[in-house]
């Protein structure tokens, strides 16, 4: 049997989908396990035993891929777009499972309720178990070779030990704004990653300078990752690196918290706002500065002294993770 997972959203979503890919692969009941994702996934998932089908999301590409999809026996789609629903419907594959929250959900023969208050990897597994109830939860995974690590350490002259700062997100309202203050409180050297050039004084700035593979290598060699609610959290966990997530407008309630690490969320009446917020409903933008840098530094210290622990809920307003 050949199984396909469809996840053509952002980098972090694809990383989290590797848990489902692993569940399918480790069951040893599939001759092929593949993922349909945006082109970056080819580099992101290099070294893993899954076929990557790149998808540019153009109209021509959509029609071209329909014939490719026909060779699969089962399709599981955590992605919820209208384009995905239509494309999978026209593939004619009978075993298709999607979330009831998807656009045009009636196009899926099997629909599963989408629940926010469970982790994304558990949601995805529950979706897959609607087709294959014997599947078991597996961890997320990424691969970086020792050669890649050596090349990257030399290229960027990285110190032996360091902490990664990942201050950027696809959504500006997810970005905490007090990194400069935090940098002054961290004893280990800090390495800043991201697409935009926003230097942090005293840190090693690699923003806009790395490929996807170099980004993975930098995180894989770090002692810990401090990030806003973004892909760096999930990349770190997939590489067995502890992550400290600083929430602003979002929160762990949506199911994208670190599985290996800690998190902090603001104590505000409007928090959380929405999974992917595009505007501040109160027009105060208070959440972007609500978490105190001293608290982040304290939690990083705790994380690094007890890094083998799983997720630890934080503060009086904590959300008890499943």
246-276 per-residue burial string, b: 16 or more CB within 10 A, e: under 16 = bbbbbbbbbbbbbbbbbbbbbebeebbbebb
Q: Hey, what are 7's tokens? A: 């996840």
Question: Is residue 145 predicted with pLDDT exceeding 50?
Answer: yes
Per residue in 161-185, pLDDT (tens digit) is 999 999 999 999 999 999 999 999 9
Spatial distance between the Cα atoms of 197 and 182, rounded to a whole number of angstroms: 18
Looking at the domain covering 146-305, what would its CATH class be? alpha beta
Please give the pLDDT value at position 221. Answer: 98
The residue written with tokens 């996807």 in the block is: 212
Percent of the chain at pLDDT > 90 equals 86
| Contact call for residues 6 and 66 (beta carbons, < 8 A) | no
Q: Give the max Cα distance, the chain.
A: 57
Q: What single string gives the DSSP state of each residue in 78-140?
A: ----HHHHHHHHHH--SEEEEETTSSSGGG-SEEE---SSS-HHHHHHHHHHTT-TT------
Residue-averaged pLDDT of the chain: 92
Hey, do 2-129 and 146-305 end up sharing a CATH topology, with the first three levels equal?
yes
CATH number of 2-129: 3.40.50.2000
Question: Is residue 43 predicted with pLDDT exceeding 60?
Answer: yes
Please give the pLDDT value at position 201. Answer: 93
Question: Is residue 320 predicted with pLDDT exceeding 60?
Answer: no
Q: How far is CA 217 from CA 147, 154, 170, in A?
A: 10, 12, 21
Per residue in 230-260, pLDDT (tens digit) is 999 999 999 999 999 999 999 999 999 999 9
- DSSP symbol at 114: -
Percent of the chain at pLDDT > 70 equals 95
pTM here? Answer: 0.93
Per residue in 83-129, pLDDT (tens digit) is 999 999 999 999 999 999 999 999 999 999 999 989 999 999 999 99
Spell out the domain ranges in the chain. 2-129, 146-305
């Amino acid at each position: 049997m050949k199984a396909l997972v469809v996840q053509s959203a952002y980098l972090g979503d694809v990383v989290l989908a590797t848990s489902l890919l692993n569940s399918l692969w480790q069951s040893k009941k599939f001759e092929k396990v593949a993922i349909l994702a945006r082109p970056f996934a080819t580099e992101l998932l290099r070294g893993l035993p899954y076929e990557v089908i790149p998808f540019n999301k153009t109209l021509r590409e959509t029609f071209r891929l329909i014939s490719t999809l026909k060779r699969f026996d089962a399709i599981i789609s955590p992605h919820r777009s209208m384009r995905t629903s239509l494309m999978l419907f026209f593939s004619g594959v009978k075993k298709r499972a999607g979330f009831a929250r998807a656009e045009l959900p009636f196009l899926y023969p099997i629909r599963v309720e989408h629940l926010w208050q469970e982790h994304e990897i558990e949601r995805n597994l529950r979706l897959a178990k609607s087709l294959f109830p014997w599947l078991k939860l597996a961890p997320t995974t990424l691969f970086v070779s020792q050669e890649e690590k050596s090349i990257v350490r030399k290229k960027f002259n990285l110190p032996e030990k360091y902490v990664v700062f990942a201050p950027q997100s696809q959504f500006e309202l997810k970005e905490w704004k007090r990194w400069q203050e935090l940098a002054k409180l961290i004893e280990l050297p800090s390495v800043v990653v991201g697409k935009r050039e926003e230097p942090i004084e005293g840190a090693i700035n690699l923003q806009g300078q790395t490929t996807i593979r170099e980004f993975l290598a930098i995180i894989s060699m770090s002692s810990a990752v401090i990030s806003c609610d973004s892909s760096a959290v999930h990349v770190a966990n997939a590489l067995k690196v502890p992550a400290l997530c600083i929430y602003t407008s979002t929160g762990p309630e949506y199911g994208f918290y670190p599985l290996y690490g800690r998190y902090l969320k603001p104590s505000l009446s409007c928090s959380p706002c929405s999974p992917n917020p595009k505007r501040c409903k109160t027009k105060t933008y208070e959440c972007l500065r609500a978490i105190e840098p001293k608290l982040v530094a304290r939690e990083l210290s705790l994380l690094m002294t007890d890094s083998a622990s799983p997720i630890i809920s934080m503060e009086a307003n904590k959300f008890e993770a499943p």
